[in-house]
Structure 1
Amino acid sequence: MPWLLMFHIAALLCWCGTLLYLPGLLLGRAGGANTVTQPAHSANYLALPRLVYTRIATPAALTAIIAGTLVFYRYGIWDVWLMVKLMLVTLLVVLHLLTGLLIAKTERGKVQRVKAYAYLIALLLGATMTAITWLVLAKPLLEL
């Protein structure tokens, strides 16, 4: 079943890519100010972050999690490194939810310190994704 593992990796790449894109998209919307305001000339000014979040990131997250669960269930992997990886994936899910919360708050109007929140989320996302990647690639070394 290598197709299931490839499906998991493809969904994971889509999920992580969109999660890294969303804070940058919010930073671009913030412009020079430290807040996001909706301009008068555009009723759909903040529609793109919500679209990317709901139509790409969330379905990719669900697909990656379901396919990953099927992979370790199918191959019977229950090692310690997997439990650590699952804790990091849980952190990634929490950061996914925080990104959605930041998008929802920016849609409602003025959000103070949107740049600081977007930078913090991006930093935590990058660190979590790096830790997951390192753990998966170092797995053969940990088993020795």
Structure 2
Amino acid sequence: MPWLLTLHIAALIGWCGALLYLPGLLVSQHASGSRSRSTQPYLPLWVYTTVATPVALAAIILGTLVFTFYGILDEWLVLKLVLVTALVILHLLTGLLMVRCRQGRIGKPHLWCYLQSALTASVITAILWLVLAKPLAEV
């Protein structure tokens, strides 16, 4: 079932892309001054709820099916799951940052967004390194 792995990778790319995109979107929204609480839709919230969260759930569910279907229970999987847990926590922190920016309850939001981006990119890089280095360890 290579299609299952393909769907997992596609969902993971969408999730990681959305998590890297959202802090930049928050900075641009804050810089443009569109923090009003009017009936105007708030683009970061829309991206978070209709793109990032559904693909995150799809990536997690498909990843669980991949290692269940293929019977993968190696040591590297435990470390990968720890890193995925860190990515889930960063996903939740992105939502919190978005809400606080929307309410105007955070000082210097651009610094928090840059920190969020750096942490997210670090975790994504660690996951990618772990997955790509795994076959080398088995040879």
Please report the TM-score for the alignment, with normalisation by the length of structure 2: 0.93
* Conservation of the 8 A alpha-carbon contact between 1:95 and 1:125: yes
* Conservation of the 8 A alpha-carbon contact between 1:81 and 1:139: yes
Q: Percent identity?
A: 55
More helix as a share of residues: 2
2:125 is matched with: 130
Task: Give me the whole-angstrom Cα distance separating, in 1, the residues matched to 2:45 and 2:34.
Answer: 15
CA RMSD of aligned residues (A): 1.8
Structure 1 runs of 4+ aligned residues shifted over 4 Å read none
* Conservation of the 8 A alpha-carbon contact between 2:30 and 2:101: no
1:53-83 alpha-carbon deviations (Å, 9 max, x no partner): 0000000000000000000000010111111
Shift of 1:116: 1.2
User: Which sections of structure 1, spanning at least 5 residues, go unmatched?
Assistant: none
2:77 is matched with: 82
Shift of 1:29: 1.6
Query: How many residue pairs align between the two structures?
Result: 139
Shift of 1:113: 1.9
Shift of 1:110: 4.3
- 1:4 and 2:4 are equivalent in the alignment: yes
Q: For 1:23-102, list aligned pairs within 5 A.
A: 23-31=23-31, 38-39=35-36, 43-44=39-40, 47-102=42-97
Please report the TM-score for the alignment, with normalisation by the length of structure 1: 0.90
1:78-117 alpha-carbon deviations (Å, 9 max, x no partner): 1111110100000000000000001111222342121111
* Conservation of the 8 A alpha-carbon contact between 2:18 and 2:52: yes
User: Which sections of structure 2, spanning at least 5 residues, go unmatched?
Assistant: none
